[in-house]
């Protein structure tokens, strides 16, 4: 037991702190607080709307069903990804296996660390939701107290069951023994879910009244009740909250507690039966018979091409980097434009014609050109290639310093993948504009493309400088490079500032040619300045890499 607690502490601590050697700065704390409050605020607002709608038909208790179904789905999806990584693909396995600790203790510690991490995530959903619920229904503080107990018990069963299922899959299949394949698969599943949700959302997101919303929720509640039958902990969870102030509530908490403990221990026993065998087979599955070396593998290329190819290979072959840095640039424009196309589908041909006419009238005006530029650079926000290009190399980044290639050239090579990926959103905007608005002038396209490309280059240069200023080189998992990287905040901030500047310019100058020329000259000058700065600073820029 003592070993399990100790190991849980270490695993949990390393999962949340990762490689941060430095203490958390006030900036970082504020950033995470901002993100937390933003999401909590969003959840709170949605909860408020749903509960108020349900109150109109006196069915507010249904909100708890919805809330816990959402948390359940969240736990299940999150656990599929994390349980595989934590149980089978984490770097600590090779250290833990030789230690005199039983597999059962390792599994318990790993499950505990998964559950503890999950508490942080579900607190973002459950706390504001339950707070709003108790506020609107004027419930006593006891409700929140019961809510916190439920929050601690509820994730145990979904996490452990998913962990058990992944173990069975690992034991009896060969496909998922490769970490990279697993990460690509889980990414694919998550993306399909996001796109499906987007389809569902855009398909139903018409302006509806609170009464209609309540009606829809009540209709769906039948479905939720069906799910509750299959997921044993949902009923006692809801019942303990509905009866928080009587003996029924206490009984239901006890039922939930017993169910969670029994499932936890059963799963621990099942996983420990297979764990050593499965993990050792995963560890040994890396060695493969390689293809024979042929003459054609010796290829000579220009340094620029070779360097960029190397950058792209590392980006694409690393599932986490691919998912965080490459895929958003390709998919987000599509996901963002999907609601627009879905709305068009719902419109009649006459409405579409009116919509097209409006766009045709404004596209060659400042508002149209600037709108297209703003939309394009907004899409740049999802490209984290350059802001992580030094950090991604981790300890390998010193390589840049001992090869005989000028730092300035290497910076150019480093930003090019980001610049190339940003061509995708630029192309999306131009292709859609050309297809949808036949009256778009060639000059308008030229303005949109020129300004976007100049901003693209500038932003990528600035972001590589940000990464050089504060690189995150001592990471343990690739997740830390993007998800726990404060630098990406600067990318978002930069784009917000640029959008603000463009809007400001558009409000003062109404001549499209003048606006475009000012923007081109301004961003061209900024690019020249940044290049001069890089030339001047050169070695100093790399002083954090050693």
Partner 1 sequence: MIEISNVSKSYENNKKIIDNLNLKINDGEIFGFLGPNGAGKTTTIKMITGILKMEEGDILIDGISIKDNPVEAKKKFGFVPDSPDIFLKLKGIEYLNFLSDIYKVSINNRKEIIENLSKKFEIYDNLNDKIQNYSHGMRQKIVIIGALLHNPKNWILDEPMTGLDPKSSHILKELMKSHTQNGNSVFFSTHVLEVAEKICDRIGIINKGKLIFVGTYEEIKKQLKEDASLEDLFLQITE
Nearest approach in angstroms of CB 492 to partner 1 is: 28
Question: One symbol per residue from 402 to 431: x for binding partner 1 (CB under 8 A), - otherwise; what is it?
Answer: xxxxx-------------------------
Which residues within the stretch 54-83 sit at the binding site for partner 1 (CB under 8 A)? none
Question: In the set 13, 216, 310, 483, which binds partner 1 (CB under 8 A)?
Answer: 310
* Contact call for residues 463 and 418 (beta carbons, < 8 A): yes
User: What does the DSSP assignment read for 297-366?
Assistant: G-----HHHHHHHHHHHHHHHSHHHIIIIIHHHHHHHHHHHHHHHHHHHHS-HHHHHHHHHHHHHHHTSH
User: How far is it, in rounded angstroms, from Cα 506 to Cα 500?
Assistant: 10
Q: Is 22 exposed, middle or buried (0-12, 13-18, 19+ CB in 10 A)?
A: exposed
| Residue at token pair 């050089």 | 468
300 contacts partner 1 (rule: CB under 8 A): yes
Binding of residue 313 to partner 1 (CB under 8 A): yes
Q: Report which of 471, 323, 458, 306 is spatially closest to residue 384, judged by C-alpha positions.
A: 323
Using rule CB under 8 A, residue 296 touches partner 1: no
The number of angstroms, rounded, from the C-alpha of 168 to the middle of its chain's C-alpha atoms is 27
Residue closer to partner 1 (CB basis): 83 or 397: 397
Our CB check for partner 1 shows the closer of 2 and 296 to be 296
60, 65, 70, 72: CA torsion to nearest 10: 150
Instruction: Please pick, from the candidates 26, 247, 297, 435, the single residue that binds partner 1 as defined by CB under 8 A.
Output: 297
Give per-residue burial for 452-466: e unless 16+ CB within 10 Å, then b: bbbbbbbbbbbbbbb
Q: Are 458 and 527 in contact (CB under 8 A)?
A: yes
Site string for partner 1, 340-379 (x = CB under 8 A): ----------------------------------------
Given the complex with partner 1, which of 172 and 546 has the nearer CB atom?
Answer: 546
CB of 245 or CB of 540, closer to partner 1: 540
CA dist., res. 36 & res. 30, Å (int): 10
Q: Is 290 in the site for partner 1 (CB under 8 A)?
A: yes
Would you count residue 302 as binding partner 1 (CB under 8 A)? yes
Q: Of these, 32, 38, 245, 317, which contacts partner 1 (CB under 8 A)? A: 317
* Candidate residues 398, 450, 477, 537; the one interacting with partner 1 per rule CB under 8 A: 398
The span of 111-119, 343-351, 393-401, 520-528 binding partner 1 (CB under 8 A) equals: 393-401
Cβ of residue 301: shortest distance to partner 1, in angstroms? 5
When asked if residue 395 is in the footprint of partner 1 (CB under 8 A), the reply is: yes
* 457: helix, strand or coil: helix
Residue showing tokens 């000012």: 518
Using CB under 8 A, pick the residue from 246, 286, 349, 350 that binds partner 1.
Answer: 286
Under the criterion CB under 8 A, does residue 98 sit at the interface with partner 1?
no
Q: How far apart are CA 440 and CA 360, in angstroms?
A: 7
Site for partner 1 contains 298 (CB under 8 A): yes
Which one, of 172, 170, 160, lies nearest residue 269 by Cα? Answer: 160
Q: Is residue 303 a contact residue for partner 1 (CB under 8 A)?
A: yes
Structure tokens at 383: 């490209």
Minimum Å gap between C-beta 283 and partner 1 is 11
Nearer to partner 1, 60 or 311 (CB): 311
- Residue 10: exposure state from Cβ atoms within 10 A (0-12, 13-18, ≥19): middle
* Region from 6-14, 189-197, 301-309, 450-458 binding partner 1, contact rule CB under 8 A: 301-309
Q: Which stretch binds partner 1 (CB under 8 A): 58-66, 98-106, 310-318, 440-448?
A: 310-318
Count of residues of this chain found to bind partner 1 when the rule CB under 8 A is applied:
38
**Separation CA 16–CA 514 (nearest Å):** 51
CB closer to partner 1 out of 229 and 288: 288
For tokens 């270490």, the residue is 10
d(C-alpha 273, C-alpha 317), whole Å: 33
What residues numbered 524-543 form the site for partner 1, per CB under 8 A?
539, 543
- Say if CB 395 and CB 473 are below 8 A apart: yes
Position among 61, 148, 169, 314 found at the interface with partner 1 (CB under 8 A): 314
Least Cβ distance, residue 357 to partner 1 (angstroms) = 51
For residues 279 and 459, which CB has a smaller minimum distance to partner 1 in the complex?
279
**Cβ 453 vs Cβ 424: under 8 Å:** no
401 binds partner 1, rule: CB under 8 A: yes
Residue 359 or 545: the one with the smaller Cβ distance to partner 1 is 545
| Residue numbers at the binding site for partner 1 (CB under 8 A) | 286-288, 290-293, 295, 297-303, 305-307, 309-310, 313-314, 317-318, 395-396, 398-399, 401-406, 539, 543, 545-546
């Amino acid at each position: 037991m003592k070993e399990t607690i100790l190991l849980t502490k270490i695993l949990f601590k390393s999962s949340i702190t990762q490689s941060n050697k430095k203490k958390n700065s006030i900036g970082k704390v504020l950033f995470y607080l901002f993100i937390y409050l933003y999401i909590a605020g969003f959840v709170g607002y949605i909860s408020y709307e749903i509960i108020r709608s349900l109150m109109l038909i006196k069915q507010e208790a249904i909100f708890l069903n919805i809330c816990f179904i959402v948390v359940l789905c969240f736990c299940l999806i999150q656990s599929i990804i994390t349980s595989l990584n934590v149980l089978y693909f984490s770097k600590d396995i090779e250290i833990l296996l030789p230690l005199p600790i039983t597999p059962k203790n390792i599994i318990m510690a790993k499950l505990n660390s998964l559950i503890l991490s999950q508490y942080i995530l579900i607190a973002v959903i459950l706390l504001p939701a339950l707070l709003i619920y108790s506020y609107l229904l004027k419930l006593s503080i006891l409700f929140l107290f019961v809510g916190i107990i439920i929050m601690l018990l509820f994730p145990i069963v979904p996490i452990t069951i998913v962990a058990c299922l992944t173990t069975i899959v690992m034991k009896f299949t060969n496909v998922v023994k490769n970490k990279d394949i697993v990460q690509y698969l889980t990414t694919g599943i998550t993306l399909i879910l996001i796109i499906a949700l987007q389809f569902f959302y855009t398909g139903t997101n018409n302006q509806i009244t609170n009464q209609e919303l309540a009606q829809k929720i009540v209709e769906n509640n039948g479905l939720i009740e069906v799910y509750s039958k299959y997921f044993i902990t949902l009923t006692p969870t809801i019942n303990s909250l509905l009866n928080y102030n009587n003996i029924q509530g206490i009984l239901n908490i006890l039922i939930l507690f017993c169910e969670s403990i029994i499932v936890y221990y059963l799963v621990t026993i099942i996983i420990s039966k297979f764990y050593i065998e499965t993990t050792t087979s995963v560890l040994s599955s890396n060695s493969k018979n390689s293809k024979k070396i042929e003459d054609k593998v010796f290829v000579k290329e220009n340094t620029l091409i070779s360097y960029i190819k190397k950058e792209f290979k590392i980006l694409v072959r690393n599932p986490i980097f691919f998912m965080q840095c490459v895929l958003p640039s390709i998919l987000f424009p599509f996901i963002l434009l999907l609601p627009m196309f879905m709305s068009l589908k719902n419109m009649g041909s006459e409405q579409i014609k009116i919509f097209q006419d409006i766009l045709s009238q404004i596209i060659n005006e400042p508002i149209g050109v600037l709108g297209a530029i703003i939309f394009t650079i907004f899409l740049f926000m999802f490209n984290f290639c350059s802001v992580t290009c030094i950090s991604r190399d981790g300890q390998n980044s010193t390589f840049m310093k001992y090869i005989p290639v000028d730092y300035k050239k290497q910076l150019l090579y480093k930003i090019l993948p980001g610049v190339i990926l940003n061509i995708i959103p630029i192309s999306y905007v131009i292709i859609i504009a050309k297809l949808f608005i036949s009256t778009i002038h060639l000059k308008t396209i030229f303005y949109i493309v020129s300004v976007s490309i100049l901003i693209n280059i500038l932003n990528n240069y600035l972001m590589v400088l940000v990464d050089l200023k504060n690189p995150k080189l001592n990471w343990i998992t690739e997740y830390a490079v993007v998800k726990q990287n404060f630098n990406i905040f600067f990318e978002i901030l930069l784009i917000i500032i640029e959008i603000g500047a463009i809007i400001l310019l558009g409000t003062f100058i109404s001549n499209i040619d003048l606006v475009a020329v000012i923007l081109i000259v301004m961003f061209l000058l900024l690019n020249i300045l940044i290049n001069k700065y890089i030339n001047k600073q050169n070695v100093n820029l790399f002083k954090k890499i050693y």
